[in-house]
Amino acid sequence: METTEIDAVLQALANADRRKILDLVKADPGCTVSSVVKHFDTSRVAIMRHLNVLYDCKLLLHEKVGRSRHLYLNSVPIQLIYDRWTDEYGAFWGGQLADIKYRVERGENND
Amino acid sequence: METTEIDAVLQALANADRRKILDLVKADPGCTVSSVVKHFDTSRVAIMRHLNVLYDCKLLLHEKVGRSRHLYLNSVPIQLIYDRWTDEYGAFWGGQLADIKYRVERGENND
DNA sequence: TAGTTACGTAATGAAATGGTTACCTATTGC
DNA sequence: GCAATAGGTAACCATTTCATTACGTAACTA
Q: Do B23 and A74 touch (CB under 8 A)?
A: no
Which DSSP state fits A59?
Answer: S
Contact A104, A33 (CB under 8 A): no
Q: Among partner residues A14, A82, A111, which is closest to B7 by beta-carbon distance?
A: A14
Is the shortest CB-to-strand distance from B34 to strand C under 7 Å?
yes
Polymer length of chain B:
111
B60 to chain A: closest CA residue: A111
For residue A14, give how far its alpha carbon lies from the nearest alpha carbon of chain B (Å).
Answer: 5
Question: DSSP 3-state assignment of A31?
Answer: coil
Round to whole Å and give the CA distance between B51 and B64: 14
Quickly give A18 CA vs D3 C1' distance in Å.
Answer: 33
Angle (nearest 5°) at CA B5 between B71 and A93: 50
Best probe of the A interface among B3, B10, B101, by most A CBs < 10 A, is B10
CATH of domain B3-105: 1.10.10.10
Q: Among partner residues A13, A26, A93, which is closest to B75 by beta-carbon distance?
A: A93
Round to whole Å and give the CA distance between B17 and A65: 41
Round to whole Å and give the CA distance between B35 and B24: 9
Can you spell out the DSSP letters for B27-96?
Answer: HSTT-BHHHHHTT-SS-HHHHHHHHHHHHHTTSEEEEEETTEEEEEE--HHHHHHHHHHHHHHHHHHHHH
* pLDDT, tens digit, 9 for 90 and up, residues B50-69: 999 999 999 999 999 999 99
Identify which of A11, A41, A70 has the alpha carbon closest to the alpha carbon of residue B18: A11
Question: DSSP 3-state assignment of A58?
Answer: coil
Round to whole Å and give the CA distance between B99 and A61: 17
Residue nearest to nucleotide D18 (CA to C1'): B46
Quickly give B54 CA vs C20 C1' distance in Å.
Answer: 32
* pLDDT, tens digit, 9 for 90 and up, residues B38-47: 999 999 999 9
Q: Is the pLDDT of residue A22 over 50?
A: yes
The per-residue pLDDT for A76 is 86
Best probe of the B interface among A23, A78, A103, by most B CBs < 10 A, is A78
Interchain CB contacts (distance < 8 Å): A and B: 87
* pLDDT, tens digit, 9 for 90 and up, residues B71-100: 999 988 888 787 777 766 654 544 444 333
The per-residue pLDDT for B6 is 87
Non-local (6+) Cβ contacts of A43 within 8 A are none
**Phi, psi for B42 (deg, rounded to 5):** -75, 170
Locate the domains of chain B by residue range.
Answer: 3-105
